[in-house]
Amino acid sequence: MLNRLFYLAISASLLIVTSITQAAPTAASMPIPKAPSNGARAFIIQDFNSGRAVASEAADQSYEPASITKLMTAYVIFNELKAGKIALGDKVTISEKAWRTPGSRMFVEVGKQVSVEDLLQGMIVQSGNDATIALAEFVAGSEETFAALMNRHAEDLGLTGSHFINSTGLPGADHYMTARDIANLAATVIRNYPEYYKWYSQKEFTFNEITQQNRNKLLWKDASVDGVKTGFTDSAGYCLVTSAAKDGMRLITVVLGTDSASERINASQALLNYGFRFFETHKLYEAGTSLASSRIWKGSTDSVTLGLNRVLYVTIPRGRYDALDASMKIDNRIMAPVAEGTALGSVQVRLDDDVVAEQPLVSLQGVAEGSFWQRITDEALLYFE
The pLDDT of residue 10 is above 80: no
SS3 label, residue 44: strand
Per-residue confidence (pLDDT) for residue 3, from 0 to 100: 39
Per-residue confidence (pLDDT) for residue 374, from 0 to 100: 79
Cβ–Cβ under 8 Å, residues 125 and 161 = no
**Of the candidate ranges 1-5, 270-274, 367-371, the one whose mean pLDDT is the lowest:** 1-5
Per-residue confidence (pLDDT) for residue 29, from 0 to 100: 61
Q: Are 17 and 55 within one domain?
A: no
The pLDDT of residue 31 is above 50: yes
Q: Over the stretch 251-273, which tens digit does the pLDDT of each residue have?
A: 999 999 999 999 999 999 999 99
Domain count, the chain: 2
- Cα 315 from Cα 10, distance rounded (Å): 27
* Residue 341: inside a domain: yes
Mean pLDDT over 171-182 rounds to 96
Q: Are 149 and 179 within one domain?
A: yes
Per-residue confidence at 378, pLDDT binned at 50, 70, 90?
low
Taking the CA atoms of 373, 377, 378 and 380 in sequence, report the sign of the dihedral they define. Answer: positive
* Residue 274: inside a domain: no
Burial grade of 289 (CB within 10 A; 0-12, 13-18, 19 or more): middle
- Cα 337 from Cα 335, distance rounded (Å): 6
Burial letters for 61-75: b for 16+ Cβ neighbours within 10 Å, e otherwise?
ebbbbbbbbbbbbbb
Catalytic residues: 67, 70, 127
Q: What is the pTM of this model?
A: 0.89
* Residue 270: inside a domain: no
The domain that holds 352 is classified in CATH as 2.60.410.10
Q: Over the stretch 74-126, which tens digit does the pLDDT of each residue have?
A: 999 999 999 999 999 999 999 999 999 999 999 999 999 999 999 999 999 99
- Cα 157 from Cα 134, distance rounded (Å): 25
Q: Over the stretch 63-77, which tens digit does the pLDDT of each residue have?
A: 999 999 999 999 999
- In this prediction, what percent of the chain has a pLDDT beyond 90? 83
How does strand 279-285 pair with strand 237-246? unpaired
Per-residue confidence at 30, pLDDT binned at 50, 70, 90?
low
Burial grade of 227 (CB within 10 A; 0-12, 13-18, 19 or more): buried
